[in-house]
Structure 1
Amino acid sequence: MGIPHFLAIPYPIPGHINPLMQLSHLLSKHGCKITFLNTDYIHKRINKNNLKNEPTTINFVTLPDGLEPEDDRSDHKKVIFSIKRNMPLMLPKLIEEVDDLDVENKISCIVVTFNMGWALEVGVKLGIKGVLLWTASATSLACCYRIPQLIHDGIIDSEGFPTKPQEIQLSPNMPMMDTRNFPWKAHDKILFDHITQEITTIDLGHWWICNTSYNLEHATFSISQKILSIGPLMSSDNNKSSLWQEDTTCLDWLDKQKPQSVIYVSFGSLAVMNQNQFNELALGLDLVNKPFLWVVRPSNDNKVNYAYPNEFVGTKGKIVGWAPQNKILNHPSMACFVTHCGWNSTIESVYCGVPFLCWPFAGDQFVNKSYICDVWKVGFELNKDENGLVSRQEIKKKVEELLGDQGIQERSLKLKELTLDNIVEEGHSSKNLQNFINWAKS
């Protein structure tokens, strides 16, 4: 029997590529072989130099996503359905080509992220076992897994909308959830049907691996025997699979700031706000009157889609297009993180012991915000006013409240400690990873 050879297939967005890359690094450290499949489009966007430094146990291959170069890839419905139409037909040939290169160590397991469940179906036909890497919280996976039950119990209708506003528990020890905040919030019927279908498909995976730890969501693991926590997944090196050029000058700037003085503001790779909200945020950062590091992400063609308000001064801050988030959150100058509460950002901030100011936009971010504010109690929510905006005054008020709250600082450091205990040698996540690798070898 050769070494386990994993074929890793992420949905083509940073929030899926990066955790799967981190998992790939981890498996490669344990002596496994990895073939990592990106779409042609993503592979071109990821800086070629970045991939030269990857371990030789990780081999990169590509397939087309079926879209034209000029198609809008921020339209996820378009991307998901184009991939589903085109890639399943091409995958068997690719697997055959990879296997021909190393007959002793053929692909033995396919790891997909959500939206790529079709590859598990291809695997079943070819006799290759499969697993899912779920890149959001285990709780949001539990929500999706329970969709048929939620419809049956009349909590949501067949389009995913709550039948009435209420709070429910998915299982006895789990936190209460507002039915308006399910992860498919703001999706339409077609995408909701896709999610329902995808949950059935990923059932073909033997494990549902989650980038979380037992202490963060312990009650959720009772929902299914398949859910396996192996987080927090963290890579110590630079993020080599970034779609934007990282501005590392911010690290030198952070070195010049006082300990626990900097407000870090970043909304991940997908969240979009309108110009009015952008203005309020800019003027709010001025009002706070503290050093800030603000990531204003460029669009795919490297332009920034916002204009800074005329009265914005910004002299206390540094604004960058994209940044090495792990290193920033780990920096001693960090005071707090103004975030959209995407799961990757959430787990990175917990890992670094940095308190949160929560500004969720979509999907599972509302569930994550509930954990941060109500369960772990390591952050505050930024509330919107009657115009649906987070006002500059609200930003100033909440930053001051957060930084003046000794309890939140202490709980953040305690949560960090408990979470990191999972990835030490005999920790819960480490044991799960070892069991998973043993399963892959068998």
Structure 2
Amino acid sequence: MKCTKRPKIILVPYPAQGHVTPMLKLASAFHNRGFDTIMVTPEYIHHQIVSRLIESKDQTLSMPIPDGLDKATPRDFFAIEMAMENNMPGHLEAMVRKLDEDGGVVCMVIDLLASWAIEVANRCRVPAAGFWPAMLATYRLIAAIPDLVRTGLISDAGIPQLLGTTCLPDQPMLSTEDVPWLVGSLAARKARFKFWTRTLDRSKTLRWLLVNSFPDEYMIDGKQTQLVKNSKDYHSPLVFPIGPLSKHAVSKNPSFWEEDKSCLDWLDKQKPDSVVYISFGSWVSPVGDGKVNNLALALEESGRPFIWVLGCAWREGLPVGYLQRVAMQGKVVSWAPQMEVLQHKAVGCYLTHCGWNSTMEAIQCQQRLLCYPVAGDQFVNCKYNVEVWGIGVKLNGFGQKDVAEGLRRVMDQDSEKWKNRLRRLYERTMGEEANSRVLSNLKAFIDDLKSITSWSDS
């Protein structure tokens, strides 16, 4: 594979906001180091981000491929999985071969949740690096599936057999209920488990794994423990922690939705550390209509000012007349400029689903957390937020007493203790020394890539 022009890296994210955003930031990092970067997404994602990429003058080229689904088909997990497995591989392979006609494609970086693309890279004889957009701890839990089955903690269909704990090296005790495929009905859980076992099987051919996390995830009482271990027990590729990528922003956040910036003017009128910010992310529905109603009433009863990110489709779950009643107390928006909100001096607490991007943004902005995990890796993230890093409190439900007690613990107790803990965590994960390790890891990956290709930057 002889490269005669500026080398190309093709990036394939899983088609969801929380995966596309860090992949774009990784693409920007590669572009700044001499690569042409091409991100390949389904057409419906491409149309959502391409205008924002042009507006922000981002140098990554976005290229669409068909997903084969009707426009009216909801893009839920199972519809996307079907499209990725059945419809998209042929289109991606044709695109890769076209882009590589001059031998210029030196690598494909593939989100592990889009593992189908690993097989495309192998067929096209292009070196492939995996990309893990979440905590390495969650990857290691998934990679330990064979051991969990062998020890009887889960069945060969992924269903917990014992309400026990598992302890991987240098990680906190995790429950069998923390595994990320336990979402939805029994059939849905089995299907998600099959998705992960297939992902693991395909990932065995990977030479590298780029992880959107900091090098030392597991810290207790200031002690840093080496988490990255290339053990055959976990079918580990070479692991390069290169995050958190949330810190390395493109000039404009490539959000899929229009941000309502009026909430920033509203925040300017609030007292410091007084506002509760509520957002359950972009991928998983918040909690269901009944719980939307309960949370709404609990926020109203608390009397605290709040900003709540709640899509229009979920507002039917609000009590009748609710928006009018709380107009002076709170603001409900469809989508918010999250980093700007979290950085605002008026915000004193973030009620979050514990998505990884949101967790990293909270650490970057040094915001204390009220944690309500909903699905996937959020349960492991919550465990770290609460039990390892001590930057949040877990919310057990949306009853008025639960919410009031959670807010009291996070916002009214030991304010300086919370702030000091967040400050220390920020320095360890995003400070100068941590950033130096990230840059070193990125350079090490690029150097290893050079060593197996004929590409050179000389």
**TM-score normalised to structure 1 length:** 0.91
Q: Tell me how many residue pairs correspond in the alignment.
A: 427
Write the distance in 2 (CA, Å) between the matches of 1:307 and 1:429: 44
Q: Kindly indicate whether the alpha-carbon contact (under 8 Å) linking 1:112 and 1:120 is maintained by their aligned counterparts in 2.
A: yes
Write the distance in 2 (CA, Å) between the matches of 1:261 and 1:226: 45
Distance 1:281 1:56, change over 3 A: closer
- Given the alignment of the two structures, is residue 88 of structure 1 paired with residue 89 of structure 2, yes or no? yes
> Deviations along 1:42-101, whole A, 9 cap, x unmatched?
12233x531213546311111011111111212x1121122211111122221233345x
Write the distance in 1 (CA, Å) between the matches of 2:194 and 2:404: 41
Distance 1:423 1:41, change over 3 A: farther
Letter in 1 for 2:180: P
**Could you say what secondary structure the match of 1:221 adopts?**
coil
- Given the alignment of the two structures, is residue 231 of structure 1 paired with residue 243 of structure 2, yes or no? yes
Q: Kindly indicate whether the alpha-carbon contact (under 8 Å) linking 1:238 and 1:324 is maintained by their aligned counterparts in 2.
A: no
Aligned ranges 1:112-123 → 2 under 5 Å: 112-123=110-121
Q: Kindly indicate whether the alpha-carbon contact (under 8 Å) linking 1:4 and 1:441 is maintained by their aligned counterparts in 2.
A: no
Write the distance in 2 (CA, Å) between the matches of 1:292 and 1:255: 13
Letter in 2 for 1:431: S
Question: Which residue is 1:207 aligned to?
Answer: 208
Question: Which residue is 2:456 aligned to?
Answer: none
Q: Kindly indicate whether the alpha-carbon contact (under 8 Å) linking 1:232 and 1:351 is maintained by their aligned counterparts in 2.
A: no
Displacement of 1:333:
2.1
> Deviations along 1:250-280, whole A, 9 cap, x unmatched?
2222233232222110000123222221122
Question: Which residue is 1:396 aligned to?
Answer: 404
> Deviations along 1:106-158, whole A, 9 cap, x unmatched?
12111111331121211122221011111121111001111112111212111
Distance 1:138 1:374, change over 3 A: same
Name which of 315, 318, 342 aligns with 1:307: 318
Write the distance in 2 (CA, Å) between the matches of 1:254 and 1:30: 38
Higher mean displacement: 29-38 or 229-238: 229-238
Displacement of 1:240:
4.1
Question: Which residue is 1:430 aligned to?
Answer: 439
Please tell me the root mean square deviation across aligned C-alpha atoms, in Å.
2.1
Q: Kindly indicate whether the alpha-carbon contact (under 8 Å) linking 2:84 and 2:116 is maintained by their aligned counterparts in 1.
A: no
**Could you say what secondary structure the match of 1:338 adopts?**
strand
Displacement of 1:286:
1.7
Write the distance in 1 (CA, Å) between the matches of 2:57 and 2:29: 11
Higher mean displacement: 25-34 or 306-315: 306-315
Aligned ranges 1:203-282 → 2 under 5 Å: 203-217=204-218, 218-222=225-229, 224=236, 226-234=238-246, 235-237=248-250, 239-272=252-285, 273-282=287-296
**Could you say what secondary structure the match of 2:192 adopts?**
helix
Q: Kindly indicate whether the alpha-carbon contact (under 8 Å) linking 1:169 and 1:176 is maintained by their aligned counterparts in 2.
A: yes
Distance 1:421 1:323, change over 3 A: same
**TM-score normalised to structure 2 length:** 0.88
Aligned ranges 1:19-418 → 2 under 5 Å: 19-46=22-49, 48-55=50-57, 57-74=59-76, 76-100=77-101, 103=102, 106-171=104-169, 173-186=170-183, 187-217=188-218, 218-222=225-229, 224=236, 226-234=238-246, 235-237=248-250, 239-272=252-285, 273-299=287-313, 304-310=315-321, 313-314=325-326, 315-384=328-397, 390-403=398-411, 404-406=413-415, 407-418=417-428
**Could you say what secondary structure the match of 2:134 adopts?**
coil
Letter in 2 for 1:220: L
Write the distance in 2 (CA, Å) between the matches of 1:227 and 1:16: 19
Letter in 2 for 1:328: V
Write the distance in 2 (CA, Å) between the matches of 1:4 and 1:255: 46
Q: Kindly indicate whether the alpha-carbon contact (under 8 Å) linking 2:66 and 2:88 is maintained by their aligned counterparts in 1.
A: yes
Q: Kindly indicate whether the alpha-carbon contact (under 8 Å) linking 1:183 and 1:364 is maintained by their aligned counterparts in 2.
A: yes
Displacement of 1:193:
1.2
**Could you say what secondary structure the match of 1:91 adopts?**
helix
Which sections of structure 2, spanning at least 5 residues, go unmatched? 219-224, 452-458
Higher mean displacement: 51-60 or 224-233: 51-60
Write the distance in 2 (CA, Å) between the matches of 1:17 and 1:215: 24
Higher mean displacement: 371-380 or 200-209: 200-209
Distance 1:115 1:215, change over 3 A: closer
Taking only the aligned residue pairs, the percentage that are identical comes to 31
> Deviations along 1:205-249, whole A, 9 cap, x unmatched?
221111111232355322545322111112435654322111112
Write the distance in 2 (CA, Å) between the matches of 1:316 and 1:56: 38
Q: Kindly indicate whether the alpha-carbon contact (under 8 Å) linking 2:276 and 2:307 is maintained by their aligned counterparts in 1.
A: yes
Distance 1:30 1:333, change over 3 A: farther
> Deviations along 1:416-442, whole A, 9 cap, x unmatched?
1211126765x2222111212223334
Letter in 2 for 1:221: V
Write the distance in 1 (CA, Å) between the matches of 2:357 and 2:107: 24
Write the distance in 1 (CA, Å) between the matches of 2:392 and 2:441: 29
Write the distance in 2 (CA, Å) between the matches of 1:3 and 1:438: 16
